[in-house]
Amino acid sequence: MQFDIDNLLSQMAKDLASYLSNRSIENPLMVGIHTGGVWVANHLHTRLKVQEPLGMLDISFYRDDFSRIGVNPKVKPSSLPPDIDGRHIVLVDDVLYTGRTTRAALNELFDYGRPASVILVVLIERNGRELPIYADIIGKRLELKGKENVKLAGPEPLKLNILVKKEDKVEQSAA
């Protein structure tokens, strides 16, 4: 499976610009979820010429499996304006799968304030939702089998990989 990520990002930028225009949203705050979401957000931020600095979230402390798996050893600080009350936020992630990462990101965002709206943008939406969370802008929808997973590599160049779990090991194929 091959993907032209540059074309996906260009189409996502067009779709997002249209979405924002149709809702009369100007100067939104764009926020990427570490790590792949920040990579995708950075590309969209540049293409849309968003004036406000790109925000970043590390949701490590907001994960619902935090008590089971512990702290991610690569926790990075989140970077948002101190007050997001009334702001329109474009939340960007690389892959929407179960919805749990997005839920954690929303929890963290609401600790900063009460946004006017949150628009979810994802490069890849795949089957397997566990929570009722759906993206507003999607680069590509994938139907993957139970042992398949998709992973974004980057930051430059961005590349999608389909990972296939076989028994106790994972094999990687470029997408």
Would you state the pLDDT for residue 78? 86
| pLDDT tops 70 at residue 49 | yes
Structural domains of the chain, count: 1
Would you state the pLDDT for residue 70? 54
105 occurs within a structural domain: yes
- Chain CA centroid to CA 117, Å: 16
In the chain, what percentage of residues exceed pLDDT 90? Answer: 69
- Residue 63: band (very low, low, confident or very high) from pLDDT cuts 50, 70, 90: low
Average pLDDT over residues 160-172: 72
pLDDT of 72-121, one tens digit each?
A: 556 677 888 878 999 999 999 999 999 999 999 999 999 999 999 999 99
Measured CA to CA, the distance from residue 35 to residue 15 in angstroms comes to 23
102 occurs within a structural domain: yes
Measured CA to CA, the distance from residue 138 to residue 147 in angstroms comes to 23
User: Whose structure tokens read 């950075």?
Assistant: 42
| pLDDT tops 70 at residue 1 | no
pLDDT of 119-147, one tens digit each?
A: 999 999 999 999 999 999 999 999 998 88
103 occurs within a structural domain: yes
User: Whose structure tokens read 């160049």?
Assistant: 157
173 occurs within a structural domain: no
Average confidence score pLDDT of the chain: 89
170 occurs within a structural domain: no
56 occurs within a structural domain: yes
150 occurs within a structural domain: no
Q: What is the CATH number of the domain that holds 61?
A: 3.40.50.2020
Tokens at 61, concatenated? 């402390």
166 occurs within a structural domain: no
| pLDDT tops 90 at residue 18 | yes
Q: Which residue has the higher pLDDT, 6 or 63?
A: 6
| pLDDT tops 90 at residue 50 | yes
Domain of 104, in residue numbers? 5-143
- Residue 175: band (very low, low, confident or very high) from pLDDT cuts 50, 70, 90: low
| pLDDT tops 60 at residue 10 | yes
CA dist 107 → 21, 26, 44, 63, 149 (Å): 27, 24, 23, 9, 25
Would you state the pLDDT for residue 3? 82
| pLDDT tops 70 at residue 162 | yes
